[in-house]
A and B are shown apart, each in its own frame.
Chain A
Amino acid sequence: MAHAQQLSTFYLDGLHFGIEVEKVQEIIRYQPTTRVPLASSVVEGLINLRGQIVTAIDLRARLQMPPRAGEALPTNVIVRVDDGAVSLLVDEIGDVVEVDEGTFEPSPDTVGGITRELVCGVYKLRDRLLLVLDTERAIQGVGESATGH
């Protein structure tokens, strides 16, 4: 049962998140985005990744966290999806962590709202908790903003 898995980790509003390392294509530093009017506020904009147009999603906004404070610039975590790639904007990049299946537990019932929807579960690391992000869900439902003009 002691099947080890590697997670690429990052921080958001003080929380420690992880994504399966195979899903992460690359990590690049922040670059200016082209805004997409009419899109939901979760969509930060578009970036040019070596000729490929990639949608950047503000994970803080997606997880309904308060906006990033101060001058700090987010980092792009580029994840592979069916039709190319999507960038997830995170506060800071952490290490690649090897986790033990045995330490995994689904989110407790007390975790509610959007977090419950987008987090598949938690790895109990020695010193803290590592939240596993469901990337497919995080990327889904990021369509047009509900508010028209």
Chain B
Amino acid sequence: MDQAGGELDEVVREFLVESHEGLDQLDRDLVALERAPTSQDRLASIFRTIHTIKGTCGFLSFGKLESVAHVGENLLSRLRDGRLTLNADITSALLAMVDAVRRMLADIEATGSDGDDDYAALVARLNDLQEALAPTAPDAEPRPSLVDEVAERTASAAVEEAFEQEVVVGATSAAPNGHAGGTAPQATARAAEQSEAHSSSVADTTIRVDVHLLDKLMNLVGELVLARNQILQFTSTQDDSSFIATSQRLNLVTTELQEGVMKTRMQPIGNIWAKFPRVVRDVAIACGKQVRVEMDGRETELDKTIIEAIKDPLTHVVRNAVDHGIEAPEKRVAAGKPAEGRLFMRAFHEGGQVNIEISDDGGGIDPEKLKQKALQRGLVHPDQLARMGEREILNLIFLPGFSTAEKITNVSGRGVGMDVVKTNIEKIGGTVDIQSKVGHGTTLKVKIPLTLAIIPALVVTSGGERYAIPQVSLLELVRLEADQARRAIESIHGAPVYRLRGNLLPLAYLSRELGHESSTEIATRASSASSDAVNIVVLQADGRQFGLVVESISDTEEIVVKPLGKQLKSITSFAGATIMGDGTVALILDVMGLAQRARVLSENHDRSIAEDARTDRASEVGTGERRTLLLLGMGDGGRLAVPLDLVDRLEEFAPDAVESAEGQQVVQYRGQILPLVHLADVLGGTREPRGSGAMQVVVSTHRGQTIGIVVDRILDIVEDTLEIRRPTRRHGLLGAAVIQNKVTDLVDVHGIIEQASPSLECAA
């Protein structure tokens, strides 16, 4: 076993555990069956067990075991169909078969193969019984009744504890009862050796425990922790040294117990991934493709129940990716890709969720094909389809009854597909998203809440309460002393920013976002002479950074995420709650939700897509409201503004990073190709001569299309009321507004993106 490959090892181990369980059940069922020989339920149960063993060992290439199980299964199927009636003879033969299976399992565990023993006699015997159509006793030889046999077996089991070696002899000789003749003594000797060598088998070191029991244990441990904490508090008032020592020990043991119980529920995602290379290999061979599997983050831990729930959906996605995503080698070579496709699986914790990404570098999903298919099947109305953005079109794949496979293969494409994946993921509170680029591949992103998962978190205070921030979102901590803070935190018309290594970091005040303090109170406090140091927690959400100002920062702690009741689910600023060491409850901040609330990130893209179908773009930028705006400077001294929530990121690119594709300037950006548009060109001006300096680029996404707008200068980020005073017909602009008492042109970001991406123009 040890020398076997890790993947096989895992599969075989599981097979052994399952089979051992199955065999124990089989023993009980066979005995019960003799009392009620016609019980269909029992027969069906026995049949299933043997059938499972046969199926799995066929898959794992244990031919001998398979052949024995196969004849057993045949015999059982006749019994089940009522063509044979169970008698002592058949029962003995079946029990002999069970013992033979057990012996082979022991061999597999010890040597990795199903042994050298010859089971031809047993197979023949089982076959004979199956042929004997009349259930009369076919043999004059007296047979022990099952009851005797069971008695013998039980007796031998009793001796087991005392004389292990004896037991095996007893057990084996009891079962075949001379019929399996030649094999018995030989096997007995071998089994005896093995039982000495491997005193604990796989089945002995693993047990299956009801998850509910674990839940209960976890709650009890929680209570124990509280009691422990109270005792520790009491201890501090005592000076009896032996009492103190005892409570210290109680402290340590409780902590370890708590960790242990928590761990019982957690499993690395690698446990389910381990099967995928094989699945991929089989599917790839079946479709004549070459696929390489790469994995990252297999140690990411997930709650047991979640692992179980995502196993099937993920398997389906993986099969799909190989079957439909990755092209045949010739096609790949023709498209200039390596013949071997790549399937990349990644798992990581982010924003209080577990993210799983499965990407392939295959042909991608053709939105046109999806559209046709959806129309053909009558899943959407043509008008509806015309209004859909690229992302929405891709999501059509999740509609029930949707299958893009042009031909139905035995692997996938039977119409039950992605909708089931989506339903199953959503059932556990997760989300599925799909991104695809024709010719480049498809990425499926699954986000699962980590209900019950243990995560490291930073504990901060605001308004006298403690809050936990999942560490995955945490980038760094910045502490500014009072006088330093007064200078370093610049308030641009109400929108506070901090220059973090030269980049503007938008700030959000936790106390304000949670309604403990108003902006004015914060401003008054900050400007007062007695103000305290400022703690900034630099966080990341959706690929962007912002700073969260908190009252104080305590420590990092491992916390258990517990769900909030459904009364509070609508508050997106919280991801759940946890119980702190002292037994009080602390809320866990949802960094993403908080960032959206504080408007330091852009609004949901979906929403803007839905909206801009109805509203014209000038009103879409939200005139009349206070907006956070990015101010840009043009070569001729003109000022331009872009609403910050239309901006994904601000980037700098070296001029030599610019390449050219299809006559357009592009840069490689986060594994994608980012088309560049010079704002000066769009507006008909002249580009400011830059020389070798870095290009300032505003990255923005509209209808799934991301482009980089090259600007001359990024001036500032301000918050101001946006009101278009003078509409314009000039291309690339929405109109002029007065921002900070200066006339500023508003850039029509969406218009520029649409013009730069012809595929969007027809959709618009």
Which residues of A pack against B, CB within 8 Å?
32-39, 43, 45-48, 50-55, 57, 81-84, 86, 139-140, 142-144, 149
Number of interface residues of B (CB under 8 A): 35
- Beyond A38-B573, A46-B577, A149-B513, whether A55 also contacts B584 by CB under 8 A is no
A46 touches B587 (CB 8 A): yes
A149 touches B585 (CB 8 A): no
Residues of B within 8 A of A142 (CB): 567
Residues of B within 8 A of A51 (CB): 218-223, 579
B222 touches A143 (CB 8 A): no
What is the CB-to-nearest-CB distance from B517 to chain A, in angstroms, rounded to a whole number? 10
B584 touches A34 (CB 8 A): yes
> Which one, B465, B514, B567, B579, contacts A55 given CB within 8 A?
B567
B565 touches A84 (CB 8 A): yes
Residues of B within 8 A of A48 (CB): 226, 579, 583-585
- Beyond A51-B219, A52-B562, A149-B512, whether A39 also contacts B568 by CB under 8 A is yes
B219 touches A50 (CB 8 A): yes
A37 touches B579 (CB 8 A): no
B564 touches A55 (CB 8 A): yes
Smallest CB gap from A57: residue in B:
B567
B219 touches A52 (CB 8 A): yes
Chain B residues numbered 450-482 whose CB sits less than 8 Å from any CB in chain A: 463, 465
Complex CA gap A127/B75 in Å reads: 77
B587 touches A34 (CB 8 A): yes
What is the CB-to-nearest-CB distance from B224 to chain A, in angstroms, rounded to a whole number? 10
Residues of A within 8 A of B219 (CB): 50-52
A83 touches B565 (CB 8 A): yes
Provide a sorted-by-A list of 16 A–B residue pairs whose CB atoms are within 8 angstroms.
A34-B587, A35-B465, A36-B571, A36-B587, A37-B465, A38-B514, A38-B573, A43-B567, A48-B579, A50-B219, A55-B567, A55-B568, A83-B563, A143-B569, A143-B570, A143-B571
A53 touches B564 (CB 8 A): yes
A37 touches B565 (CB 8 A): no
What is the CB-to-nearest-CB distance from B441 to chain A, in angstroms, rounded to a whole number? 39
Residues of A within 8 A of B218 (CB): 51
Knowing that A35-B465, A38-B571, A143-B569 are A-B contacts, what are 15 other residue pairs whose CB atoms are under 8 Å apart, sorted by A's residue number? Answer: A36-B587, A37-B516, A46-B564, A46-B585, A47-B585, A48-B585, A52-B562, A53-B565, A53-B579, A53-B585, A55-B565, A139-B567, A143-B568, A144-B570, A144-B571
Residues of A within 8 A of B576 (CB): 53
B567 touches A149 (CB 8 A): no
Complex CA gap A67/B514 in Å reads: 23
Complex CA gap A43/B568 in Å reads: 9
Chain B residues numbered 12-61 whose CB sits less than 8 Å from any CB in chain A: none
Complex CA gap A36/B222 in Å reads: 22
Smallest CB gap from A36: residue in B:
B568
Residues of B within 8 A of A140 (CB): 567
Q: Does B586 contact A (CB under 8 A)?
A: yes
Residues of B within 8 A of A34 (CB): 465, 577, 584-587
Residues of A within 8 A of B562 (CB): 52-53
Residues of B within 8 A of A55 (CB): 564-565, 567-568
Chain B residues numbered 682-721 whose CB sits less than 8 Å from any CB in chain A: none
Residues of A within 8 A of B585 (CB): 33-34, 45-48, 53
